[in-house]
Amino acid sequence: VFWFFFCNVSSFFTSSPQMCSIWMKPALFPAASRMKRGGSVMSPMFHKSFQDVHLLFEIMLSGVHFQDSGGFFVEDAELASLHRARDLKFICEKIIPRKLAEILRLIHNLSNQMGPLHQDDFERTLFTLVYTAQQVVNSTSEHQRDMWKGSFVSLYKAVKQDLTGTY
């Protein structure tokens, strides 16, 4: 009886593309699952406490820049020297997508997301939103600007949807 039940359930999940995608959904930030720092696997997430949220707000207000070379720069030298700011730099340089194609893939995966985002995915989506906002401002052609604007709006909608709980 168990074998019969297992075979029927198994064939249902593997034959249905919708059910298969529920169980085997792609990672929103694939680079996060491959991250190692100093020889050990790290959990690439910035905020782990309420104080981290305040620090992040202070860092963002002081000014941050994503450089064309792939670097991430915090303008305030004192804030930039903090250990948590170095963690933020690591996340922004190594985890969040920087190419438009990668961001479009993220947007597609976010649109297929059922339920709320995990805290680290929400955080990384916000950092990607900040990056796309900077790209809108730094775009040299109207076509580029329109592509980055569309990405920004889509990421904004995903964040808003997660915050309001309208899935």
Cβ partners under 8 Å of residue 8, min gap 6: none
pLDDT value, residue 113: 87
Residue segments in the chain with a per-residue pLDDT below the cut of 70: 1-25, 33-43
pLDDT value, residue 9: 38
Question: Which one, of 94, 97, 115, 112, lies nearest residue 151 by Cα?
Answer: 97
**Which residue has tokens 């730094």?**
138
Contact predicate 128/75, CB 8 Å? no
Residues in the chain: 167
pLDDT value, residue 12: 40
What is this structure's pTM? 0.78
Tokens matching residue 39: 């020889």
Contact predicate 74/89, CB 8 Å? yes
**Which residue has tokens 């997660």?**
162
pLDDT value, residue 22: 45
pLDDT value, residue 152: 98
For residue 99, give the DSSP letter. S
Contact predicate 87/47, CB 8 Å? no
Cβ partners under 8 Å of residue 117, min gap 6: 28, 110, 125, 162
